[in-house]
Homo-oligomer: A and B are copies of this chain.
Amino acid sequence: MITEVPGVLVGHSHRLTEGWATGTTVVLVPGGAVGAVDSRGGAPGTRETDLLEPSNLVSSVHAVCLSGGSAYGLAAADGVMRWLSERNIGFPVGPQPHQVVPIVPAAVLFDLDMSSWGNWPDASFGYSACASAAASFELGTVGAGTGARTGSLKGGVGSASVRVGQHVVGALAAVNAVGEAVDRATGLPWLPSLGTSPVELPPFVGSRLNTTIGVVATNAALSKAECRRLAMAAHDGLARAVRPAHSMFDGDTVFALATGEVPVSSPFELDALCTAAAEVFAESIVSGISEASTVADVKAFRDL
């Protein structure tokens, strides 16, 4: 899980009741982490991504907010900011400890067709997700993955991590891709870790806005520019696990967080972290699909 990286917590808030199937997931780093982003989908919905450009001032991020609700769901980040500011966590802008502006980049996915119109995450979802943040958290049809779909399957929140020497690289993905995680021709998953027996997929849903969003995190000490390489690498994992990936109707966006505990001594070491980031992001996508549960007529992989 991404929380194998010390200092990283995850919280969900969602509503899965009559007329509701949406939610918000927050990756919280109360101690701050160097942050970066790479947005490669054709239809992103984002907030506070420009400050992550390596040449810019702010280098420490306090949370990443991932939410359903399409652009309406960007409001969830307002609640994350409030929760952090109540705890004096943020970029200092005045002499008093409470005078902080929390840095909360955010991205949203399209799940509006899974709820009645108008039922989307607001600031209270972000606030509740922070309040529930912990090292232990649920996967599947939870948080930002509650209304998620992937091709013809139910999508969800997945997570994975790996050790690379003294370093840990973890990832979390809210998987809602246009593309399929399973080859429709053979019935076999693109990544064997999702299963080795062919499945029969439900009919393809057709035109729909989608989006996979997520976070890769590491305990490595990285600059903003180095951190951006991790976010870029994670998109390779997305390309491997879902086809097509990065469509015009996906807002695929990955954030990277580096908590700075363990130095990186060479570009080769950084490169090994990038290779790992691609792998754990692909594994996160697999776990998001395999942990998801069926919602209404959107079948989960494990129910096929």
Residue numbers of A with Cβ under 8 A of B are: 39, 41-51, 53, 55-58, 70-72, 74-75, 77-78, 81, 85, 93-94, 96, 98-99, 101-104, 110, 112-113, 117, 123, 209, 248-249, 251, 253
Contact = CB atoms under 8 A, between A and B. Distances in A.
Contact of A48 (B47, B56, B81): B47
A50 B46 contact: yes
10 contacts: A39-B53, A46-B49, A49-B49, A49-B50, A71-B103, A72-B101, A74-B77, A93-B110, A94-B112, A99-B117
Contact of A47 (B42, B46, B103, B113): B46
When all copies of this chain in the complex are counted, the total is: 2
A63 to B, nearest CB: 12
A75 B72 contact: no
Contacts of A55: 42
Contacts of A49: 46, 49-50
Given A50-B253, A110-B93, A70 B248 contact: no
Contacts of A93: 70, 110, 112-113, 209
